[in-house]
Structure 1
């Protein structure tokens, strides 16, 4: 009888232990199921943030470059307008714009110019040519029979030309100088000669096919 009771007690204990073990296993599984992995989501979030940062950086750099480029263009245009107004201002007194040596149409002689800037580098027809370099403009001078300066031609620069003649348009001429005295086509070259009168002097803008002055002439007109 005692042996039977002992066997029943052992069986009951085993059943209770097994039940607790199953419960713990089920609770453990539920704990795992209730805590999904977050590594992938965090990685995706970081990647999205990094992508957004890279995009923002690229956009900022692009805006900075565009702003810088626009600023340079505005500055160059202003330099061209300053050149235009400088040509007109000096023309009122018959003064040669460049080189700024005080040469005057109808007064300065060839000897004066040669003594100031040297012999011309080239002679074409009636004109003594001085070729620009290191940012200096090219110019040419024509003299009358007595060796007095009759006409000066300003060709601007080849380097950064947009800061002088290459940045001037016909619209700029009208806006800055007003309506020209005359405008005529040069049949031999297809260029347009737009002329302005300042006191006793004439300023001629020889407009090329690109719509900007190829060169500018200063001479007496009456």
Structure 2
């Protein structure tokens, strides 16, 4: 009987012994280990050797899944992008305030559900935005344009004051991962996802809201 063809639709397929790959190694496992290296050392210091050590395999095993370091980092950026796109766009019928709430909730949720995302974001700040300038450029441009449209819509309606979109994005970068990590730190006051989402939205909204006499 002929062997069944592999299911090419399965994104994270299991490696089966090519070039020393351990059984059970998947793209998903490799990307998770890469996040750990990024969070600990910064994206510019990621090495295939370090990722392979965390996976318990030889470096050659990683090349069965990714085309070198740049291919690995590109796949990592794409995996994070899928998390953002997963939640979709805010409904066009919502007010600018509700659209802003949708975006802030989404960003906070992504950081909250995976602490490594928050640690990576803070590490990238320390390394002067290498993710923004390089491997994650398309995702950042998508996020920037989406936020810009909401802010411009709010300003046109008089509910937001004119603000620079990059300044508002800086608020996200500075406030969301730091809050997620702090409130989940052992010994600190624990906060639920909804509590952190409320806090982040109130901070951002206070900054962009139109000033009243």
Work out which of the two has the higher radius of gyration on C-alpha atoms and give 1 or 2: 1
- Give the number of the structure with larger relative contact order, counting CA–CA contacts within 8 Å between residues 6 or more apart: 2
Structure in which a larger fraction of residues adopt helix: 2
Structure with greater proportional strand content: 1
Identify whether the pair has TM-score above 0.5, normalized to the shorter chain: no
Task: Please indicate the TM-score interval, normalised by the length of the shorter structure.
Answer: under 0.3
